[in-house]
Structure 1
Amino acid sequence: MTEDCPICPLCDRPIPDGTGSLHHLIPKLKGGKGGPTVLLHGICHKEIHATLTEAELARSYNSVAALRTHPRLSRFLDWVRKRPPGFQSKVPGKRRSR
């Protein structure tokens, strides 16, 4: 991994080549098509969508700073920051019950 890897704005770890996932800050289905996007680790992106609905993302969590304030995502970020940059979950994730 080189030092010029992009950094995940959510967990602040380098994103190895080819493992990034583009996240629309406002979901496309909620008017965000063509809107701002951020490159995240795949695992960080999956956790966002496993935790929040499209409506919640559009209404209250449409910035990196806002995403970091969500209690479940905050705990996840504390955990994932201790993992190597290329870490991928071996367990397929699904939406958690609220």
Structure 2
Amino acid sequence: MTRGRVRRRLAEAALAQVAPDAGDAVLACALCGRTIGSKVEWHHAVPKSEGGRETVPVHPICHRTIHAAAGNADLARLVAGAGGGLEAVRGLEPVARFIRWVADKPPDFHAPTRRGRERG
């Protein structure tokens, strides 16, 4: 199992293979689209509990927002439903509000994440 810097280097190497002419390619957050800073977390687009293996890079604050807005069962239903993937997650009102709010924040911005009211 790879962690931390090793996974980031692997992701950067994979990105360089996909876009070798990109020069100093940077990772972008799969949720908000902002540049990833010094900290990166990996979100399973399909929850591991549902057999998901592929991960996408996200900011720590974005990752917490995804899981605060919906549990794994809800995420699995969203991914399987029409539109699926992170597009469906972005359509959740708390996540959409968060994306608008975080859009102008720096890449390493962090703040406490509130848990969704419906989850308790």
- For residue 28 of structure 1, the aligned residue among 48, 58, 61 is 48
Once the two structures are TM-superposed, the CA of residue 94 in structure 1 deviates from its matched residue by: 5.2
Q: Is 1:16 aligned to residue 37 of structure 2? A: yes
Rounded to whole Å, the distance in 2 between the matches of 1:28 and 1:56 is 13
**Structure 2: any 5+ residue segments left out of the alignment?**
1-23
Once the two structures are TM-superposed, the CA of residue 46 in structure 1 deviates from its matched residue by: 0.4
Q: Is 1:60 aligned to residue 78 of structure 2? A: yes
Rounded to whole Å, the distance in 2 between the matches of 1:13 and 1:45 is 13
Instruction: Give the TM-score normalised by the residue count of structure 2.
Output: 0.68
Could you say which structure has the higher helix fraction?
A: 2
Partner of 1:96: 116
Rg (Cα) greater in structure? 2
Partner of 1:43: 61
**Structure 1: any 5+ residue segments left out of the alignment?**
none
Query: Which aligned runs of 4 or more in structure 1 are off by greater than 3 angstroms?
Result: none
Rounded to whole Å, the distance in 2 between the matches of 1:95 and 1:72 is 10
Instruction: Give the TM-score normalised by the residue count of structure 1.
Output: 0.82
Give the alignment's Cα RMSD to 1 decimal. Answer: 1.6
Partner of 1:7: 28
Which one has more relative contact order, counting CA pairs under 8 Å at least 6 apart? 1
- For residue 100 of structure 2, the aligned residue among 74, 78, 85 is 78
Give the secondary-structure state (helix, strand or coil) at the position aligned to 2:58: strand
Partner of 2:6: none
